[in-house]
A = this chain, B = another copy of it.
Amino acid sequence: MPRLAERAAGPRHPSSAELRLVALPDFPLVSSGDDLAGMTAAALTRAGLQLRAGDVLVFAQKVISKAEGRLIDLATVVPGERALELSRTVQKDPRLVELVLAESRRVVRTAKDVLIVEHRLGLIMANAGIDQSNVADPADGEFALLLPEDPDASAARLREQLGVLTGSTPAVVVSDSFGRPWRVGTVGVAIGCAGLAATLDLRGHTDLFGRELRVTVVGHADEIASAASMLMGQASEACPVILVRGLASQAAHQPAAALIRPSQQDLFR
């Protein structure tokens, strides 16, 4: 049984004494093709912030999708029969429903105003993550924004580019807001990450009294996304990039795909 003095320094959780989260100020609006890494490096400089080892940058999914050109003009979408039928149930624009179906493996639940699907990435989420808030000026038409093609790859690219631009390679998390069964309200969730472990597996470690921990996988990148979400402002693109400083650095790299529960281990699909 470990002695008390050994506990605080134990390998349990990469905890540290203090965390600091900073919203990069005056981040410009992002458009298709924009150099998001360059914009982020510039915003860091403007804020007088220099990246350090262990820093994490959390990006709102929305700015990554925009930079990657995932904006769809609804006028170009022709809903199929299935989308037309489903749109009557969920009472959403059939063109939006068509996009949701095209981005999904299957429909999980439907009700009035509710369309929960399994996204092609495996994420169980409302509307396949397709968003119509803050995506475009309605004067320009009706648009919808899809998730990035591969958010883990987007995170890895941003991480690498930021390393080149700033000389210090941060971990990167791509966050989105998810509703949840059983609980009211959305929380930030990691749909992509690079340079950190999306989950922390503490099985085999012992508690304060030497008792072995049993179910102790932590949704680490999701907790980072939730923390950052508080500074992003839920519906706004005003603060789409958050610097998280003070997390203990981790050797393990693991993509956010690891946060998706395999369906055969899921009692709630």
Contact = CB atoms under 8 A, between A and B. Distances in A.
A132 interface: yes
Interface residues of A, number: 85
In this complex, which of A13, A18, A20, A230 has the most chain B Cβ atoms within 10 angstroms of its Cβ? Answer: A230
Contacts of A133: 207-208, 211, 213
Copies of the protein in its oligomer: 2
A180 B211 contact: no
Interface in A167-217: 177, 179-189, 199-200, 202, 205, 207-211, 213-217
A139 B182 CA distance: 38
A8 interface: yes
Contact of A19 (B123, B219, B223, B231): B231
A132 B136 CA distance: 51
A238 B182 contact: no
A185 B239 CA distance: 27
A18 B215 CA distance: 33
Contacts of A189: 183
Contacts of A113: 214-215
B184 A268 contact: no
A76 interface: no
Given A18-B22, A230-B15, A247-B230, A261 B182 contact: yes
Interface of A: 7-8, 10, 12-13, 15-23, 25, 29, 109, 111, 113-114, 116, 123-124, 126, 132-138, 177, 179-189, 199-200, 202, 205, 207-211, 213-220, 222-224, 226-227, 229-239, 247, 258-261, 266-269
